[in-house]
Amino acid sequence: MAQMEQSSGSSRRQFLRRSALLAGLAAGVSALLSACQLGAPAGGNTAPAQTGTTVGGKLGEVLQRGKVIVGTGSTNPPWHFEDESGNLVGMDIEMAKIVSKGLFDKDDKIEFVKQKPDARIPNLQTDKVDVVIQFMTVTPQRAQNVEFTIPYYREAVNLLLPASSPYNGAKDMIGKKTKISILQNSFAEDLVHHGVPDAEVMQLDTQANAILALDSGRVDAAAVDDSTCRWLYTQNPGKYKVGNYSWDANTYSMAVKPGDQRWLNWLNTVIHEAVLGLGYPDYAAAFKKYFGVDIPVPQAGFPIEYGGLQRS
């Protein structure tokens, strides 16, 4: 028995020595790899993008093609519109560039397909586009026909006010017998009254006319998207101010054809890292350009995605 115990102890010590040796070798390899990574150029990929030969599905198709086909609009600032040279610009276009950069390390490997809003879902379903980036509001009904990414913007209703207005936002206007213009639709009255319950609502045939009513002094404020308020303010800072209270928030996300989880996951990664990771500078610059807002810089340490969780 003693011999067996001695033999067993000797075998155990040999095993531990071998384990320690292997651990040391692994640590050395790890340190060497880390040193190589530290020596890599900052701000760029350490390896070229895959060519698509080893990646399947839509992601592989896009990589092999060498460009991403994006469905978007061309007539809705600040999201997607044409500049004086006829080039597409806007926040949606910047998001498309972020996707292209993630795929090819270049932000111009994009073929834009200009489409009306009612073509967004059909063009995905018939594979005319790889992804829709066109201020698309997430709804459960639409999610039956497409798959949505994580959000890249949170929209809401807000008030555009004259710079000289005595009001700072919707809550200031309650009980003041104010008049508010809005684009005509079946739920316009309710939409305004969610923010200013007793306002008189003036419905007009276009959003441009709703804002013209504000410019001409026929109303106290115009109810439009928060992003539109901020865009108009950035273009005319001495003419307008943005209401300090928004309501009826909704989500803007990219959309893809259902059934390709890897493509969806990859796009989610790109959006997440643009908002909170290494892609933040590009996203923040676009946000500032089109909305006039400096967004918070992501901080090191505990991920803010879990900010609502309490540690015991």
CATH of the domain at 189: 3.40.190.10
Give a yes or no: residue 145 inside a domain: yes
**Model pLDDT, residue 97:** 98
Total domains present in the chain: 2
Mean pLDDT score, 127-143: 98
Element (H, E) at 121: helix 120-125
Q: CA 68, CA 224: separation in Å to the nearest integer?
A: 32
The mean pLDDT of 261-273, rounded to a whole number, is 98
Residue 295 has pLDDT above 70, yes or no: yes
CB contact set of 91 (below 8 Å; sequence gap of 6+): 78, 79, 80, 153, 227, 286, 287, 290, 291
Task: Judge if 150 and 263 occupy the same domain.
Answer: yes
Q: Are residues 167 and 243 in the same domain?
A: yes
Provide the whole-model pTM. 0.81
Task: Give 116's pLDDT tier (boundaries 50, 70, 90).
Answer: very high
Please give the share of the chain, as a percent, with pLDDT higher than 70: 81
Same domain, 199 and 85: no
Same domain, 236 and 169: yes
Encode pLDDT of 196-224 as tens digits: 999 999 999 999 999 999 999 999 999 99
Residue 49 is assigned to a structural domain of this protein? no
CA 245 to chain centroid, in Å, comes to 22
Q: Among 42-46, 55-59, 107-111, whose mean pLDDT is lowest? A: 42-46
Domain of residue 101: give its range: 57-154+250-295
Regarding whether 254 and 150 lie in a shared domain, the answer is yes
Tell me how far apart the alpha carbons of residues 244 and 297 are, in angstroms, rounded to a whole number. 22
Please check whether residues 165 and 218 belong to one and the same domain.
yes
For residue 308, the model assigns a pLDDT of: 53
136 and 74 both lie in a single domain = yes
